[in-house]
Amino acid sequence: MSSSTFSFECQTRCGQTGARAGIFQTPHGPVHTPRFMPVGTLANVKTVTPAQLKTTGAEMVLANTYHLHLQPGDDIVAEAGGLHRFMAWDGPMLTDSGGFQVFSLSQIRTITEAGVSFRSPRDGRLIDISPEISIEIQNRLGADVIMAFDECPPYPASREAVAAATDRTFRWLKRCTATHQRSDQALFGIVQGGVFLDLRQRAAKELVDLDLPGYAIGGVSVGEPPELIEQIVRATTPLLPETKPRYLMGVGTYREMAQAIAAGIDLFDCVIPTRLARHGSALVGGDRWNLKNARFRRDYAPLDSTCGCYTCQNFSRAYLCHLIHAKELLAFTLLSIHNITELVGFTQKIRRAIIHNRFAEDFGHWLQTPQAEGSGT
């Protein structure tokens, strides 16, 4: 189901790459692309309030259908007025389908054409999720963008297994579109296919024929090396419509985002900024800094003198080091604020560079060499 409340406008294209700057309009406001989206798994971005999240430049937030179905339950979220009201976030939101979590976190009991049956990791009860149930849950949650229920094969997996999962994902997508009932929610399809480029390309062409409001590339960043991720994205993205937003799921490192933007990707999500924060690490200038290190104990400089976030404007590296060693929860909040600001800001800088036709010049080092990617950023 498409709706006039959603639109995507490509404002500028890079002259040397496939990068583009655009605006994705949603019922809860615009998303200026390319853009990194923080992950709020259980209707909150860990340790950060919605007001603090606004200061990071985040425009769109992701929540998790699987986890919210288990706790507190999508019926409770619906009774509260939907996700936006429940978590006091008035900006655009996206919910994933739960497919990745079902296949990666749960003790799977059965995968059939009907759907998936699994044991809840919380209480052991048997839960059934089908394409229809996933969409019904997401309709109740009420995010602006919802995702089709897909089968995400692991890496590595045989070509036969990946082909079967890819075909089933497309059949499930057609059931998702038949079930989806809310015109104020945009249903995105997901391109699967593992590391097999011909399967990816076939899946992309099949999805495009359904004329969906947006398209995602899923099943990447599940253990395969970065060079394979780049190959998948470069081979798949050009097949997706230029008039629709393109979303690369689960990717949020500097290099991978820059390379994907060069291929024409618009949206990203990843738990990296908050996960690193909970481990006492900060993203600074393309590197990861472990603030637990003794070298920061008497370092009274701002975390990043070039960053305008609340953390960098008010606190020193020494103070952050102290909070981490003292196991103070404030450390997680301050580092999360900075890390989210850093990754959102990275995509904002790329957007400005695209508009001024400087993307290839200013960010070429991220496209060509690993740089700080040795530390995973």
Say which of 144, 150, 266, 269 is annotated catalytic.
269
Question: How open is the CA angle 194-198-200, to the nearest 5 degrees?
Answer: 45
Give the three-class secondary structure for 332.
helix
CA 267, CA 144: separation in Å to the nearest integer?
14
Q: What is the 3 state secondary structure string of 8-26?
A: EEEEEECCCCCCEEEEEEE
Catalytic, 269? Answer: yes
Query: In the chain, where does DSSP find H-type helix?
Result: 50-55, 65-70, 74-79, 83-87, 99-105, 131-141, 159-179, 197-208, 226-236, 254-263, 272-278, 310-314, 317-325, 330-355, 359-368
User: How many angstroms separate the Cα of 8 from the Cα of each of 21, 28, 89, 97, 356?
Assistant: 10, 14, 22, 22, 20
Say which of 74, 96, 144, 266 is annotated catalytic.
96
User: How many angstroms separate the Cα of 193 from the Cα of each of 131, 150, 241, 247?
Assistant: 18, 11, 18, 16
Handedness of CA 154, 160, 166, 167 (dihedral sign): negative
Residue 311: both structure tokens together = 């953390």
Nearest to 129 by CA among 109, 145, 144, 143: 109
Question: How open is the CA angle 23-26-27, to the nearest 5 degrees?
Answer: 150
**At 145, phi and psi to the nearest 5?**
-115, 130
Burial 281-297 (b: 16+ CB within 10 A, else e): bbbbebebbebeeeebe
Catalytic, 96? Answer: yes
CA 35, CA 267: separation in Å to the nearest integer?
5
Nearest to 276 by CA among 318, 197, 334: 334
Give the three-class secondary structure for 278.
helix
Active-site residue list = 96, 269
